[in-house]
Structure 1
Amino acid sequence: MPKKRTKTKRAGGTVAPDQRAAALRRRARPWLLALLACAAQAQAGPCPPAGWSGDSLQALQQAGFRMESAAARDALALGLLECLGEPDPALREDLAAAALAAWMREGVLAPDLLRTLRDRLYRALEQEDRDGLRWPAAARILGEIAGTDRASPWMSPAERAAMVLRASAYLQSVRDYRGFDPVQGWRHGIAHGADWLAQLARNPALDRHQLGRIVEAIGSQAVPAGGYAYVSDEPQRLAEALLQAARRGVRDEAGWSAWFAALAARLGDGDLAWRDAGWLARRHDLQAFLQAVYVGADQARDPATRAVLPGARAALEALP
């Protein structure tokens, strides 16, 4: 005979034991998440990965990152993810990120491994990045992963749609506008986020709605509200991503004109013109972005890309 479930009394009624346990689990969840985060950090691998040193990675770099053993290469690819947050720019950029990018551009990494790399990088973007180094590096490699799917499709439509959302959300979330640091090298969160979106926009599998999402993400950082003046090629990288979406016919000429007019409105209060450092920085960014878009579109031959020209020109002419 099934055992009767007992109930525990409380003021105003009774609570079943399983409900009480669920409530306790909910209250304990912040502590549990903290413990899991600590465990994940404790399990993180070393950098350089076991069996490798800075010297051996430099030797591999000099050999064009070519390795005879595919299994050893794949194991190293996973291990190098731990180097993407390293403060040493030579290790982070010239060795780890460069090796991963080289293998992806050569098309030598299998889809299962690419999925694993992608998912680990997604998790990296969800974790704290105190030094501001890991997130831009992760975005850089995720852009390379997006490029592999464009060259030889392996993602499902759902995976691709999820990446569009993640890439767009990443670019919109960037608030660390630092570029090059003489000690720690490049962060470049805006540029790497733009490159990630540009790779996705080139993919013929994306639909109009997904391309529109990319365009809106680009617009959010073309004129950053905080008033940071771009000095490290960010407007040009954002413009390239926009032109890749434009080439796919995401908007017509009237749609682009309206979009550029709305973007120009982000300059803010006209009474601040030429009297406020934030306004001047926004004007600088908007002008640099519009000029990069205009030059790129003017060199294009396809009507879809050239459809941006009237709106970009009108916005430039209307600049204070």
Structure 2
Amino acid sequence: MRRLISSFCLLTFMFTATTAFADCDESSKQELKSAKSAGWKFDDDGKRQNLALAAADCLGTTDAELRDELAFEGLSAWMRTEKLTLPTLTALRIKMLNAVQAPAAEESSFLRPFAILTLAELVRVDRKKAYLSTQERVDIVNAASHYLSNLHDYRGFDEKEGWRHGIAHSADLMLQLAMNPAIEKAQHETMLAAIASQVAPASHFYQYGEGVRLMTAVYYLAKTPSFNKRDWDLWFNKLVEKSIQPGPYNQARLAQRHNLSAFLLPLYFSVRESSDPALKENLLPALRDALHKVN
């Protein structure tokens, strides 16, 4: 009994100590480099759990190699091979949600887009083997949808700073949520509205594949039973009305047309190539009409 109580206290301490972000230091980088060179394999499971939590603290660093190729890559590798324990997954989820819900003043940091991408991996774990509660899934949907809808930092890749890519990372999370059979219609509607808000911004020309990432999430939402042909007709009509403004060409109108085409064309191709007749029936007429209006 004492051993059980001690183990419980240890887990509680670990959880409490790791729900806030700590400083990411050089020792973490060296440990992650060693772990990567070993194929992310550990004989000591406790060391793996501790390093995973340390890696989470490095997701906001300005060091692109540490942030992307070590910290996130390690977390992804361990989650995709089911090497992280439930307490570690829980601590990571709370950390990532706290980061995503941080004040808007922190929008330009690296932490929020990489927290969103890490949430996508956490949701993927749940899709493969459910461990989240219904409310925890709803909380992730709401936080991700709010973040995406209110995102104004459209930076993708910089040769010195590396990736931010908040739009694409958000789309990746929406994709994992769309593929999760435990997500319900109300959440699908929230997600679809958030995606629509960023399909064709007038303030930026997408250039890093954002349209494809957004359309992939919509494609998998369309494969759920939450929406019928009439829903999609209305959704695409509203999307085009919002994105194709009348009047003389200017940079804003050109950006919207560019971004809308970069979303519609790969979606049309994907639906055309699909072997799902219901998907084609529900989406193709609206997609054809939308493409005619863009061109």
- Contact kept, 8 Å, 2:119 with 2:173, in 1: the verdict is yes
Residues 1:187 and 2:164 aligned together: yes
Letter in 2 for 1:293: L
Residue among 271, 279, 283 paired with 1:305: 279
For residue 212 of structure 1, what is the aligned residue in structure 2?
Answer: 189
Amino acid at match of 2:125: T
Q: Secondary structure at the match of 1:248?
A: coil
Q: Are the aligned partners of 1:249 and 1:305 in contact in 2 as well (CA < 8 Å)?
A: no
The equivalent position to 1:164 in structure 2, one of 112, 117, 141, is 141
Residue 81 of structure 1: aligned partner: 56
Give the residue type in structure 1 aligned to 2:230: A
Instruction: Give how far 1:48 is off.
Output: 3.4
Structure 1 residue runs of 4 or more that deviate by more than 4 Å after TM superposition: none
> Relative contact order: is structure 1 or structure 2 higher (C-alpha 8 Å, sep ≥ 6)?
2
Aligned residue in 1 for 2:78: 103
Distance 1:235 1:96 in 2: 26
Matches within 5 A, 1:229-308: 229-272=205-248, 275-306=249-280, 307-308=282-283
Q: 1:120 corresponds to which residue? A: 95
Aligned length: 274
- Corresponding position: 1:58 with 2:33: yes
CA distance, structure 1, for counterparts of residue 99 and residue 289 of structure 2 = 41
1:78-133 CA-to-partner distances (Å, cap 9, x unmatched) read: 11111111111100000000000111111121222211111011111233526421
Tell me the secondary structure at the aligned position of residue 204 of structure 2.
coil
Alignment correspondent of 1:202: 179
Shift, 1:59, TM fit: 2.3
Code of the residue aligned with 1:303 in structure 2: it is: P
2:128 is the counterpart of 1:151: yes
TM-score, length of structure 2 as denominator length: 0.88
Unaligned runs of 5+ in 1: 1-39
Shift of 1:304: 3.8
Q: Which amino acid aligns with 1:217?
A: A
C-alpha deviation, 1:209, in angstroms = 1.6
* RMSD across aligned positions (CA): 1.7
Larger-gyration structure (1/2): 1
What's the offset of the Cα at 1:235?
Answer: 0.3
